[in-house]
Amino acid sequence: ASPQAGDWQRSLQAARSRLQWRSHFMQKLECEPELEHRALCSAYDELRAGPGEWDEGRYGAWAKGRTGFPMVDACMRCLLRTGWVNFRMRAMLTSFASYNLWLDWRQYAGHLARCFLDYEPGIHYPQLQMQSGTTGINAMRVYSVTKQARDHDPEGDFIRRFVPELHHVPLKYLHEPHRMPHDVQEAAGCLIGSDYPAPIVDEAESARVAKQRLHAVRRQDTTALEAQRVYVKHGSRSRLGAQERRSVLPTADGTSQSKAKRARRGAQSDPRQGTLQSLFACAAGPDGATDPDEGARTPHRPTGPSLPATPSMPTSTADAQAHRRGSH
């Protein structure tokens, strides 16, 4: 067989795999519709949901792409303008909101949902929970948004396109513009705190505190038992999926059953992770999508700024299920 034929077979196999994952995630919500409103692993249900924990100012800055973190802001503005970014950047936006900003995924789910052109509630809710650390059976995914910017937009093309106020900022400072000396800010026509916001949180410190809070829940005696229940009902039955779940299921002391997850978390080891090139496909729609678990437009209605809903958008999980059966 020619190399081209081999590539074609691999593409067909990848497409079939993504359809299977799509069905897998849709089945999660159809089997347990309450996942729209509560954590998959109930041990995490009160996480980020305490009195006074919701920060409307942080939410508004994130929802508008005004956080002071260029890659986060570029992705959010791209999403607002086009309705699409690739899987890695969707995961990064969610991780940043849940960990660095400590926002409850249930409160911001609707904003992302109304932005995504490729809405599927069965994918949206499980993915939000996976990226927020509330499933009990997945590894904690805390993205360094500055590292993501340097790794996936090293020349700053994507950032300059969607955050035009940073267009003339030297590349040396583009990924962390708040570090520009004042004279450089003036020369670039971008004053931090005026033309472009300073970072709304300390990236490293906010991530450290969030991890501590997650680990505190993980160490509770009841968490391991609840995580096992989740795995029995919702865990992937594939060999690879089962291996991944075993590597992150907590034991009674809160540690994982295996350290193998560390070897699997690199970007190059996961073929489903997108690249910057696919980010630029956003103007033409989701043709460059690389992950089967891509986001959704959700019926959950959050507080804070929002976008107009698409007229045909389902207004509840039940409506969405009916929509897929052809009832609409």
Confidence of residue 4 (pLDDT cuts 50, 70, 90): confident
Per-residue confidence (pLDDT) for residue 240, from 0 to 100: 45
- The residue extents of the domains of the chain are 56-235
Percentage of residues of the chain with pLDDT beyond 70: 71
pLDDT, tens digit, 9 for 90 and up, residues 46-94: 999 999 999 999 999 999 999 999 999 999 999 999 999 999 999 999 9
pLDDT, tens digit, 9 for 90 and up, residues 267-293: 333 323 333 333 333 322 322 233 333
CATH 1.20.120.1200 holds for 56-235: no
pLDDT, tens digit, 9 for 90 and up, residues 89-109: 999 999 999 999 999 999 999
Per-residue confidence (pLDDT) for residue 29, from 0 to 100: 86
SS (H, E, C) the chain: CCHHHHHHHHHHHHHHHHHHHHHHHHHHHHHCHHHHCCCCCHHHCCCCCCCCCCCHHHHHHHHHCCCCCHHHHHHHHHHHHHCCCCHHHHHHHHHHHHHHCCCCHHHHHHHHHHHCCCCCHHHHHHHHHHHHCCCCCCCCCCCCHHHHHHHHCCCCHHHHHHCHHHCCCCHHHHCCHHHCCHHHHHHHCCCECCCECCCCCCHHHHHHHHHHHHHHHHCCHHHHHHHHHHHHHHCCCCHHHHHHHHHHCECCCCCECCCCHHHHCCHHHCCCCCCHHHHHHHHHCHHHCCCCCCCCCCCCCCCCCCCCCCCCCCCCHHHHHHHHCCCC
pLDDT, tens digit, 9 for 90 and up, residues 221-260: 899 899 998 888 887 666 544 454 454 555 544 455 444 4
Per-residue confidence (pLDDT) for residue 243, from 0 to 100: 52
Q: Give the chain's mean pLDDT.
A: 78
Per-residue confidence (pLDDT) for residue 280, from 0 to 100: 33
pLDDT, tens digit, 9 for 90 and up, residues 158-209: 999 999 999 999 999 999 999 999 999 999 999 999 999 999 999 999 999 9
Averaged pLDDT, 26-45: 90
Least confident of 164-168, 214-218, 277-281, 315-319: 277-281
Confidence of residue 1 (pLDDT cuts 50, 70, 90): low
Reply yes or no on whether the pLDDT at 111 is more than 50.
yes
pTM, rounded to two decimals: 0.73
